[in-house]
Structure 1
Amino acid sequence: MRDQRAWREVNRRNREWLRPWEATMPPGPPGHVVHRPTYRQMVRHLRAEAHAGRMLPFVVEYQGRLVGQLTIAGITWGSMCSAHIGYWVDEAVAGRGVIPTAVALAVDHCFRAMGLHRIEVCIRPENAPSRRVVEKLGFREEGLRPRYLHIDGAWRDHLVYALTVDEVPEEGMLARWHRVRPGAPQK
């Protein structure tokens, strides 16, 4: 809850920039009005899902300030051992390696600390910057999910990118990202 002011400020300032990519609530049954959850409702939901072991919500910080959010969700155990990652970042820091670093840290945590086998990231085909994030990290494109999520007022197609634990080098995803990121020293 202590992040509310910073989260709201970043989210408000980036509303138009994020609008084409953020999930929206589809219309409910006739006569039923669907509202976007309040910050408090969102936090309660994230906490409940985390407590149930189905989600890990994180804020993303850069130079000591909140600049985004990353959520590991849909955590499934048993024969699947998988999850998916969603994220957003402040336009003011986009392109600085903040989200690839956050995703690399999340993947390392999922594979090394949690013991998951597979991670997915689903991205709208038009979202070239987000696609570059996962491509730089070595996720492979698996295909298209037609009308997968309700975004910006309509059901939108998403490309599926995935990675399994055996596709990550022994050094880990973060070390791989530090080695291949633009400006990294070349050997």
Structure 2
Amino acid sequence: MVLRPIRMRDQRAWREVNRRNREWLRPWEATVPPAPPGHLIQRPTFRQMVRHLRGEANAGRMLPFVIEYQGQLAGQLTVAGLTWGSMCSAHIGYWVDEAVAGRGVMPTAVALAVDHCFRYVGLHRIEVCIRPENAPSRRVVEKLGFREEGLRPRYLHIDGAWRDHLVFALTAEEIPEGLLSRWHQARPGTPQK
């Protein structure tokens, strides 16, 4: 499994995986609320999306990644909302190909991203906000030991409406051994380094 920056040349694979998973991801993917009268909002093209993600990364506000599993693009993970100063925090959003769900791909990707953010980027806190109904995504953070902090009512526009989200978080002090190490220790049969 590899977590790496998103690239323009990922377009074909990204579109194919996203297309195959459209219905599976629809209940969980953010949507844009209806435009005010007289305004037209268009969904960005892949190239526009990558340009935006790269611009945000270059500005120090985001870390956009794709997830590769067995050499194939299998999802996306974005560390966003990087806040510095006295907060030093961010939040993580992700999606994975249904074909590889349940194989430990997403917990591994989240663990890699959190370790990178805590050890090399210098963040102190990471949040993951999940719709209460999204049991597979909740299992990801529960497996990794994120602490549930509460409910954010009508937090994000998803699938055509403002949806409540549960907040899960970790701070750097909670995982001095690293999250990937914790995840490997928790999984039976995982080779130790």
1:73–1:83 contact (8 Å) kept in structure 2: yes
**Superposed CA offset, 1:151-176 (max 9, x none):** 000000000000000111x3211011
Aligned positions of 1:34-49 closer than 5 A: 34-49=41-56
* Mapped partners of 1:65, 1:184: distance in 2: 22
Aligned positions of 1:28-67 closer than 5 A: 28-67=35-74
2:178 corresponds to which of 152, 172, 175: 172
**Structure 2: unaligned runs, 5 residues or longer:** 1-7
2:109 corresponds to which of 102, 113, 126: 102
Q: Aligned residue for 1:129?
A: 136
Q: TM-score, normalised by structure 1?
A: 0.96
Q: RMSD of the alignment, in Å?
A: 1.2
Structure 1 counterpart of 2:67, one-letter code? V
* Mapped partners of 1:58, 1:51: distance in 2: 14
Q: Aligned residue for 2:29?
A: 22
How far the C-alpha of 1:183 sits from its partner, in A, is 4.1
Q: TM-score, normalised by structure 2?
A: 0.93
**Superposed CA offset, 1:118-157 (max 9, x none):** 0000000000000010011010000000000000000000
Structure 2 counterpart of 1:160, one-letter code? V
**Structure 1: unaligned runs, 5 residues or longer:** none
1:27–1:33 contact (8 Å) kept in structure 2: no
1:20–1:152 contact (8 Å) kept in structure 2: yes
How far the C-alpha of 1:17 sits from its partner, in A, is 0.2
* Mapped partners of 1:4, 1:102: distance in 2: 20
Q: Aligned residue for 1:146?
A: 153
1:25–1:35 contact (8 Å) kept in structure 2: no
How far the C-alpha of 1:184 sits from its partner, in A, is 4.0
Aligned length: 185
How far the C-alpha of 1:31 sits from its partner, in A, is 2.4
Identity %: 86
Structure 2 counterpart of 1:3, one-letter code? D
